[in-house]
Amino acid sequence: MNSDSDKKDFGERVKKAREKLELTQEQVAKKAKMTVNYYAMIERGEVNPSFEKIKSIAKVLKLKVTIS
């Protein structure tokens, strides 16, 4: 993710997927092996997560990771 808008867009998509599965931020963070604070920062688009973190979140939220 290169820009602030990319981070915000990613965060919004992750949040929508989490809410669709009716999971809390705490549940996702625990399953993805990260702190709730860091996960919340991802949803708000405040950080640029590593690819490993993205894969962990995608696994919990049953999302497919694609690179374009």
pLDDT, residue 66, reads 86
Query: What does the pLDDT read at residue 2?
Result: 65
Decide if pLDDT at 1 tops 70: no
Tell me the pLDDT tens digit for each residue of 21-55.
999 999 999 999 999 999 999 999 999 999 999 99
Q: Are 44 and 12 in contact (CB under 8 A)?
A: no
Classify residue 47 by its DSSP letter. Answer: S
- How many Å apart are CA 60 and CA 41, to the nearest integer? 17
Domains of the chain: which residue ranges? 4-60
Do residues 9 and 44 lie in contact, with contact meaning Cβ atoms separated by under 8 Å? Answer: no
Q: Which fold is adopted by the domain 4-60? A: 434 Repressor (Amino-terminal Domain) (1.10.260)
